[in-house]
Amino acid sequence: MNRPPHNKGYTLIEMMIVLLILSSVTAIVVSSFQTAYSAKQTSHFLEQLQDDLYYTQAVAISRGETTSLTIYPENHEYVVYGKNKKLLIRRTFPSHIVFKGGTLGYKVVYLANGNVQKPGTLFINTNFASYKVVVQLGKGRFYVAKL
């Protein structure tokens, strides 16, 4: 009896090549998603920080009391305090975001009239870019700029 060769399947080498190609493509796609996710986290953090600075100023004006936003870089968090160190907001931020205290230090204080107590600059470094937060003298104006 003559039996034909079994040509119905793939060889082990062919399967390994296909799996190697698929795993390489998957690794590339996953790493690009992680990069995009970190960039989105940074963007969201900067927006949240701006909103919280506006909130800190609004509370100072509306309640007629000194309020502050204090950054604790070693704990990866910042806190908004009202009168007598009353906790208003506590937020954490991702570990890839690093604060560098500039002339402002790690604290922004708004007086009862909405003016900032001390103007200055605060630097923020991420995996992708560096930013500076500039708090200007008078009326508590500030802006965030990419370096």
Q: 106-126: per-residue pLDDT in tens?
A: 999 999 999 999 999 999 999
Domain carrying residue 74: 12-146
Q: What is the pLDDT of residue 143?
A: 92
| Domain contains 6 | no
| Domain contains 2 | no
| The two structure tokens encoding residue 127 | 């995996």
| Domain contains 23 | yes
Q: What DSSP character marks residue 116?
A: B
| Domain contains 4 | no
Q: What is the C-alpha separation between 124 and 116, in angstroms, rounded?
A: 20
| Domain contains 57 | yes
Segment 60-74 shows an average pLDDT of 94
| Domain contains 131 | yes
| Domain contains 107 | yes
Q: Is pLDDT above 80 for 6?
A: no
Query: CA nearest 146: which of 42, 72, 38, 76?
Result: 42
Q: What is the C-alpha separation between 98 and 45, in angstroms, rounded?
A: 12
Q: Report how many domains make up the chain.
A: 1
Residue pointed to by tokens 């060889």: 11
Of residues 137 and 88, the one with the higher pLDDT is: 88
| Domain contains 3 | no
CATH of the domain at 99: 3.55.40.10
